[in-house]
Structure 1
Amino acid sequence: MDIGRESLGLVAAVLDGDRRSIFAHGQSGSENNRPLDGDTVFEIGSITKVFTALLFADMVLRGELAPDDPAAKFLPDSVKMPDFEGAPITLMDLATYTSGLPRMPSNFAPKDWSNPYIDYRAERLYDYLSNHKLGFKPGTHYEYANLGFGLLGHILERRAGKSYEDLVVSRICAPLGMDDTRITLSDSMQQRLARGHNAALAPVANWDFSVLAGAGALRSTANDLTKFLQMCMDPADGPLAAALKLTLSERRPRASERYVALGWFVANRFGDEVVWKSGGTGGYATFIGYSTKTRRNFILLSNAADYDPNTALATHLVNAAYPMPKLYREVPVDPAVLAAYTGRYELTPTFALTVRADGARLFVRGTGQDELQVFAESETDFFSRVVNAQITFARPEGGAAPSLVLHQNGRDRVAKRIP
């Protein structure tokens, strides 16, 4: 991978029996210009969900709650949790991405998109839950779950009477000797923090979480995550080993030959079983995963938001049958050509792509989604560095492109310009 074009820097870790190998390449981008190493701190984003699931399993084994407990049981009486024809959302539904709740709440409206989660607090979460209608029976429909895992983490801290961070530290980090996995950075961690960068490799702010901390708030290092990975691959006797076994005991379908466990993703392809989880925030992309059959494993931490290439590269390194990521190369395009693409393009009656040109830059926003910058691979072909999606514009007619094709999830979908 061409680090100079896809990321500012990478730290990787591999376990081979009791041997731990750490590799670093590139720059931290921090003010002190500290070299990258196994103690460099990264935001690990949604890898946090694996910790949330492990906490949930630990609390189940301690008898503090049960997998089939309704989520409503642990929320204030004033909160009216949605159900589906009387079927409630259970804690296990939340832990397996099958609650029926959407990825994000519709009242998620940050004052500052550079730090989007900090002002989403419990009262807004409660208001959303009390007014939401489920479209699927809990336990039957997979949907990626920032909302669901944030809610699960909040429920765990309410049940335990401790903050989410205190639970992670006391029940997971302390037993494993993970002193650099925290939400709140110590002075030492702050000095070792790699600066996050967006997909265009521009520095960005770190993310802070409030009520949805269980979805993505943790920061960690390659050395700390290696301790966690060692426990996953060779669980010693003890409370965490039993909890880990529980997190992998329930499998629900995600897609063909792909499943979700509690927090983890599980892929049964190429004669192998790979257990993995990726993560990302505004300035970081991360991966942790291992094969249950070959025992190949990998941790990959990037201080840029190159989510899809980072995950694809790491998965390939766990099992070479998974393809290497395609690396797109940006080329300059005349701003007048970009201006011809500005407009709205309808994919379905309820979903459109709004394209906006800003000089030499082009942006796309899907209905109800964040605006993303797209980059030119040619005069008509554009790619995203945030999601695995590409767009091909039809050649402009009369000064405007009549249509575009969205390439995503193996599909090519035509969207015509809306007058």
Structure 2
Amino acid sequence: MKKLLFIALALLFSFQVKAQDSKIPNEVKEYIQSRVENQINVGIVVGYINGDTVDYYSFGNTAQENGTPVNKESVFEIGSISKTFTATLLALKVNSGEMSLDDPISKYLPENIKTPTRNGKEITLKHLATHTSGLPKLPDNLLQTDPKNPYVDYTYEQLYSFISSHELTVDIGSVTEYSNVGMGLLGHILELQSEKTYEELVIEHIANPLEMNDTRLAFTQTMKKRLAKGHAGLSETPNWDIITLGGAGGIRSTVSDMVKYIKANINANTIDSKLHNAMSLAHKSAYKNPDQKAEMALAWFIENGRFLMHNGATGGYCAMSAIDKASKRGVIVLTNSNENVDAIAIKLMIPSYPLKPIKPSIAKVLAKEIKVNGIIKAITFYKEAKTKQANDYNFEVEELNTLGYQFFAEDKKDIALEIFKLNVAEFPEASNPYDSLAEAYLENGEQELAIQNYKKSLELNPANDNARDVLKSLKVNIKEVTVSKEMLESYTGKYQLAPTFAITITTKDGRLFLQATAQPQFEIFPSDYNTFFLKVVEARVEFNTNSKGKVDSMTLFQNGQVLPGKRVE
């Protein structure tokens, strides 16, 4: 359930929608092939709907080793697209008069549960469905006993404990802040109201009416036989079992089934049935925030006033769905890799959107070098290749990270540790390499080094919930930062980072906001008095003063890049 969506959606502003052929273009097929052949994804399956026509395309395998070709009947985890199912179930209850969007969540939870409030306002079902509850992305008592299956041991008792003790830091309904725990709580409230499990509700009200026989939370025997095994990089990884928070991301499905679901959503306004009427309600705009340039339906993100979109990701899978009801088009893309496939869906919905050429991963070449010549010579090879063949391979930060986890999964932890060390040395301003190195140190019993690197990861990306949670579990105190309104005001202005790219900083109600050229506005949060981070992407900004103590520049840190900018306004 990674938060990838906002990056994809922001890209839609710049491109015009034109007529699209009913077939998946060769350009898209070749792009998919290049992703699989260069070992970015293991397998990819696409279903594209245009009116009454459905076109499928699949490439790759169900497993990196000894897999069979994927197809439209292969089973994947769909991650956070599950949230749209939860919203549809809520809409069914609202249309039947059993529930109201304005009902406070306290109405459905046990009487002994103290629900969070702020300034006398209660969280409602609508707040949960639009990510405006003020609840965080994850509960702070999600202690991952199994990092490769992080939700498996999370109980309803733990969920209640979190809800009863959590203090909101933003006003309810004031901003959209993506919350897995909020949507998981909504799924559980639907369970309590109906006295049925979330899976039973999905099967009864959505899967059975649409004949989606391979859409479940728990695998059936036939689904297991057609499972596309999840992969973190090139390494097979266990499936995620999400039960307590199932409404946030627990569903497994196939492209064949998901095409039925997307088609039903496209026709929501034209077919009169309980399910289609519920889908229609779930599509209606339910929240707008001009400051964030955000618009939400129930769970669905509304983009450009036209597209309904949601993606999803678990430990070994990524998924993307998009709908344009006006043109009766939709798409579903599923992959059994933790590399997102948003671009494929966007390209099919917006043909003018350019697909970035795929370079071969240096990880594939380096893996062979390690096996032939050992890790020390392989590191020397990597550094020389990065200097002399920079344009021939993909040297981005995640390439070494992926390779490190591949050796980690093969129980070659000494090699993995050296790869993670190399990644930190090559990308000292990126948070994730430190997080991975810390995990390797912790696994190796070197707790002090693990703490040191988790702290550095959190410093570079204070939105890194994993680092925060692990440090808390190790009884490490984490500094909480507040910045005065006067100091926030001193940072406002326009900063020019490139001739055609600037960042505007504004403040409102004691909070700071960032807006880049041609992008939505997002809130930024303090990690130090002059350093702020984003939650929607891994990035941070640092404000700099001149010799007179006046803020005259800022620096943006993102994707290993360091971009300084002068204050021009």
Provide the TM-score with structure 1 as the length reference: 0.81
Report the residue type matching 1:190 in the other structure: K
2:132 and 2:313 map into 1 onto residues whose CA distance is 21
**1:292 CA drift (Å):** 3.0
Cα distance, 1:340–1:192 mapped onto 2, change above 3 Å: closer
The reply to whether residue 72 of structure 1 matches residue 168 of structure 2 is: no
SS at match of 2:46: strand
C-alpha distance 132-343 of structure 1, shift in aligned 2 (>3 A): farther
Counterpart Cα distance in 2 of 1:325 and 1:37: 25
Q: Residue 557 of structure 2: SS of its match in structure 1?
A: strand
Q: How does 1:12-411 map to 2 (within 5 A)?
A: 12-29=46-63, 33-198=67-232, 200-235=233-268, 236-253=271-288, 257-268=293-304, 273-307=306-340, 310-325=341-356, 327=358, 330-331=361-362, 333-334=382-383, 338=422, 341=425, 356=437, 365-366=457-458, 367=462, 368-370=464-466, 406-407=557-558
Structure 2 distance, partners of 1:23, 1:340, is: 38
Q: What TM-score do the two structures reach when normalised by structure 2?
A: 0.60
Residue 167 of structure 1 aligns to a residue whose secondary structure is helix
Is the partner of 2:231 in helix, strand or coil?
coil
1:329 Cα deviation from its structure 2 partner: 5.6
Q: Deviations over 1:378-411 (max 9, x none)?
A: xxxxxxxxx96589xxxxxxxxxxxx97316999
Give 1 or 2: higher strand fraction. Answer: 1
1:271-292 per-residue CA deviation (whole Å, 9 max, x = no partner) reads x721111011000001111223
Cα gap change, 1:290 to 1:409, in 2 (>3 Å): farther
Contact 2:51–2:328, Cα closer than 8 Å, also in 1: no
Q: Percent identity?
A: 34
Compared CA separation, residues 355 and 23, structure 1 to 2 (3 A)? closer
Corresponding letter in the other structure for 1:155: I
Q: Secondary structure at the match of 1:237?
A: coil
Task: Kindly name which structure, 1 or 2, has the bigger radius of gyration based on alpha carbons.
Answer: 2
Partners in 1 of 2:259 and 2:108 — Cα distance?
Answer: 33
CA RMSD of aligned residues (A): 3.3
CA–CA separation in structure 1 for the residues paired with 2:437 and 2:338: 22
Residues 285 and 304 in structure 1, CA contact (< 8 A), matched pair in contact too: yes
**One-letter amino acid of the structure 2 residue matched with residue 212 of structure 1:** L
When residues 110 and 231 of structure 1 are mapped into structure 2, their CA distance, relative to the original with a 3 A threshold, is same
Secondary structure class of the residue paired with 1:341 = helix
| Cα deviation digits, residues 191-217 of structure 1 (max 9, x gap) | 00100001x221000000121010000
Conserved 8 A contact 2:430-2:558:
no
Query: 1:312: Cα distance to partner?
Result: 2.4
CA distance in 2, matches of 1:329, 1:77: 57
Q: Where do 5+ consecutive residues of structure 1 fail to align?
A: 348-352, 372-386, 392-403, 415-419
Structure 1 273/409 Cα, relative in aligned 2: closer, same or farther at 3 Å? Answer: farther
Matches of 2:149 and 2:329, distance apart in 1: 35
Separation in structure 2 between the aligned mates of residue 194 and residue 286 of structure 1, nearest angstrom: 13
Gaps of 5+ in 2: 1-30, 367-381, 384-417, 442-452, 468-535, 541-554
Cα distance, 1:30–1:411 mapped onto 2, change above 3 Å? closer
Higher helix share: 2
Change (3 A) 1:205 1:67: same
One-letter amino acid of the structure 2 residue matched with residue 365 of structure 1: S
Distance 1:411-1:17 versus aligned 2 partners, 3 A rule? farther
Change (3 A) 1:56 1:344: same
- 1:23–1:129 CA distance, 2 compared to 1 (3 A): same
> Structure 2 CA distance, aligned partners of 1:187 and 1:7?
26
Structure 2 CA distance for aligned equivalents of residues 250 and 84 of structure 1 = 24
Alpha-carbon distance, 1:315 to partner: 1.4
**Structure 1 residues 121 and 305: alpha-carbon distance in aligned structure 2, compared to 1, 3 A threshold:** same
Contact 2:283 2:308 in 1 (8 A): no
Which amino acid in 1 is paired with 2:457? R
Aligned partners of 2:266 and 2:330 also within 8 Å: no
Distance 1:325 1:160, change over 3 A: farther
Deviates more, 1:47-56 or 1:316-325: 316-325
Deviation of the 1:330 alpha carbon: 4.2
Determine if contact 1:407/1:413 at 8 Å carries over to the other structure: no
Aligned residues: 375
- Structure 2 vs 1, CA of residues 16 and 120 (structure 1 numbering), >3 Å: closer, same or farther? same
Distance 1:328 1:413 in 2: 28
Q: CA 1:354–1:41 in structure 2 vs 1: closer, same or farther (change >3 Å)? A: closer
C-alpha distance in structure 2 between counterparts of 1:38 and 1:217, whole Å: 20
Q: Distance in 2 between matches of 1:133 and 1:247?
A: 29
CA contact (8 A) 2:301 2:310 kept: yes
Question: Aligned partners of 2:426, 2:356: CA distance in 1, in Å?
Answer: 29
Q: In structure 2, what residue type is equivalent to 1:341?
A: A
